[in-house]
């Protein structure tokens, strides 16, 4: 069940209490449909609020009322920690039929049992597979898999800040994720794989509206699988469905690589589904720990395949787990928690070095052992 918080918005003013709070700035966009500027303006603010909340560790479901450019007191669904206290509308612009807004929002952190949500977990995004090729003939949408991958990648960067996305040039099926390939991908620095397949692009019945007699309902379905390479298990699997009107009599509909396609009712509905996928990925990953293999042990110092790009900072603490494999079935592994406590002392974008906090010898640690990262209370 979703919690609810209240918005209290005082435009252009700062609000301070005895509790610590953080201000986040974000931008949002929305398309003006049927000349309804106010609805587009509200949608753009909703979009910006959602982006800010996600980066703060909260996730919002919707906003409602707006007056003179400022969000009014309203209930908002929250699925994670963080309470939004105020919102300021900094700027608004319009280019063609797209409205853009910039906001500044005051988010008060709340205590949470969620560990590791400030870190970015490596996610390998496979190309979206187009299974429904027979239906792609309507509108010549044979490249929709590639173009949907591009849209999904953008949404993951915007709406899933705990995912560090790397795009793969080919599709990945769940059946391909088997040992030892899963171990190889994990040792290469990936933790999760997101695979997707479009299963339905079919046309339905002609719309009953007399002014849309050249339109048919067109369906869209995409199945996604989020796979944990380390645990060798599926974290999240779901099929998402939607539909919208489609000009089936037209021989000149926009191709899926164009902005015109994504501004059509059908393209907009697909885009909303892809955004929902990205938000669900965020919910799945934000409380997961950041893991890494030990790359090297030298001079009583270990090197990890993690760095600043993952959100790691000097002083962060590491919990070491030693890896044991079943000799007869190497894909079966055990993790033994080590009493050794480690702390990051040096790092760059992709790698970090750590030493024992108690000057313990590290000769028993081997490349391939696993560390879990947690934020040091002193930083």
CA distances from 321 to 104, 151, 215, 294, 338 (A): 41, 37, 59, 10, 6
The pLDDT, as a whole number, for residue 83 is 65
Domains, the chain, in order of start with CATH, read 3-108 (3.30.1660.40), 121-285 (3.40.50.10610), 290-374 (2.40.10.410)
Distance CA 221, CA 223 (A): 7
> pLDDT tens digit string along 59-72?
554 333 333 333 33
The pLDDT, as a whole number, for residue 35 is 84
Query: Whole-model pTM?
Result: 0.75
Distance CA 29, CA 42 (A): 10
Distance CA 82, CA 7 (A): 12
CA distances from 114 to 61, 69, 79, 123, 200 (A): 19, 34, 12, 19, 37
Position 123 pLDDT exceeds 90:
yes
Q: Encoding tokens for residue 341?
A: 């406590």
> pLDDT tens digit string along 353-372?
999 888 777 778 888 888 88
Kindly tell me the burial class for residue 129, based on how many C-beta atoms sit within 10 Å of its own C-beta (0-12, 13-18, 19 or more).
Answer: buried
The pLDDT, as a whole number, for residue 8 is 28
The pLDDT, as a whole number, for residue 266 is 95
For residues 172 and 50, which has the higher predicted lDDT (pLDDT)?
172
> pLDDT tens digit string along 5-62?
222 222 222 233 333 457 888 888 888 887 888 888 888 888 888 778 777 766 554 3
Position 103 pLDDT exceeds 80:
yes
**Mean pLDDT, to the nearest integer, of 106-124?**
71
Tokens 């380390």 — which residue? 230
State whether residue 151 is helix, strand or coil: helix
> pLDDT tens digit string along 241-290?
999 999 988 888 999 999 999 999 999 999 999 999 998 999 899 888 89
The pLDDT, as a whole number, for residue 375 is 66
Cis peptide before 289 (omega within 30 of 0): no
Tokens 């081997």 — which residue? 366
Q: Which residues, at least 6 apart from 183, have a Cβ–Cβ distance to it below 8 Å?
A: 229, 331
Torsion sign over Cα 131, 134, 135, 138: positive
Distance CA 63, CA 101 (A): 15
The pLDDT, as a whole number, for residue 42 is 87
Q: Encoding tokens for residue 248?
A: 């089936």
> pLDDT tens digit string along 309-356?
999 999 998 888 877 776 666 666 777 788 888 999 999 999 999 998
Confidence of residue 114 (pLDDT cuts 50, 70, 90): low
Distance CA 347, CA 301 (A): 12
The pLDDT, as a whole number, for residue 217 is 92
The pLDDT, as a whole number, for residue 77 is 40
Q: Choose among 4, 378, 79, 333: nearest CA to 344.
A: 378
Measured in whole angstroms, the distance separating CA 11 from the mean position of its chain's CA atoms is 30
- Taking a C-beta distance cutoff of 8 angstroms, is the pair 73, 8 a contact? yes
- Taking a C-beta distance cutoff of 8 angstroms, is the pair 223, 280 a contact? no
- Taking a C-beta distance cutoff of 8 angstroms, is the pair 153, 167 a contact? yes
Tokens 């760059």 — which residue? 348
Q: Choose among 93, 87, 88, 98: nearest CA to 40.
A: 98
* Rounded to 5°, angle at Cα 169 from 160 and 222: 55
Confidence of residue 159 (pLDDT cuts 50, 70, 90): confident
Among the residue ranges 103-107, 144-148, 262-266, the one predicted with the least confidence is: 103-107
**Mean pLDDT, to the nearest integer, of 137-159?**
96
């Amino acid at each position: 069940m979703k919690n609810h918080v209240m918005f209290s918005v005082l435009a252009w003013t700062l609000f301070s209490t005895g509790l610590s709070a953080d201000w986040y700035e974000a931008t949002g966009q929305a398309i003006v449909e049927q000349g309804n500027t106010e609805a587009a303006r509200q949608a753009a603010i909703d979009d910006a609020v959602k982006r800010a909340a996600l980066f703060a560790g909260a996730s919002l479901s919707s906003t409602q009322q707006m007056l003179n450019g400022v969000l009014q007191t309203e209930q908002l669904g929250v699925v994670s920690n963080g309470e939004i206290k105020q919102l300021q509308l900094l700027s608004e612009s319009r280019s063609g039929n797209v409205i853009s807004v910039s906001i500044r929002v005051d988010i008060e952190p709340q205590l949470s049992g969620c560990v590791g949500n400030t870190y970015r977990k490596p996610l390998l995004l496979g190309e979206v597979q187009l299974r429904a090729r027979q239906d792609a003939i309507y509108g010549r949408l044979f490249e929709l898999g590639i173009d949907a991958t591009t849209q999904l990648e953008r949404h993951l960067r915007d709406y899933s800040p705990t995912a560090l996305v790397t795009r793969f040039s080919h599709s990945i099926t769940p059946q391909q994720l088997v040992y030892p390939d899963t171990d190889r991908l994990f040792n290469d620095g990936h933790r999760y794989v997101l695979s997707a397949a479009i299963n339905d692009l079919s046309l339905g019945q002609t719309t009953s509206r007399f002014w849309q007699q050249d339109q048919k309902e067109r369906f869209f379905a995409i199945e996604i699988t989020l796979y944990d390479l380390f645990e060798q298990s599926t974290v999240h699997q779901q099929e998402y469905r939607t539909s919208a009107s489609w000009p089936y009599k037209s021989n000149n509909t926009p191709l899926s690589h164009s902005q015109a396609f994504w501004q059509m009712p059908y393209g907009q509905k697909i885009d909303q589904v892809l955004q929902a996928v990205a938000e669900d990925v965020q919910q799945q990953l934000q409380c997961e720990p950041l893991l890494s293999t030990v790359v090297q042990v030298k001079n009583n110092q270990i090197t990890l395949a993690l760095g600043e790009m993952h959100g790691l900072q000097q002083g962060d603490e590491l919990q070491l787990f030693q890896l044991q494999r079943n000799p007869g079935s190497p894909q079966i592994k055990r993790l033994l928690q080590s009493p050794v406590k480690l702390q990051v002392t040096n790092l760059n974008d992709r790698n970090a070095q750590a030493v024992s906090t108690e000057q313990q010898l590290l000769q028993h640690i081997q490349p391939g052992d696993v560390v879990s990262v947690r934020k040091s209370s002193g930083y």
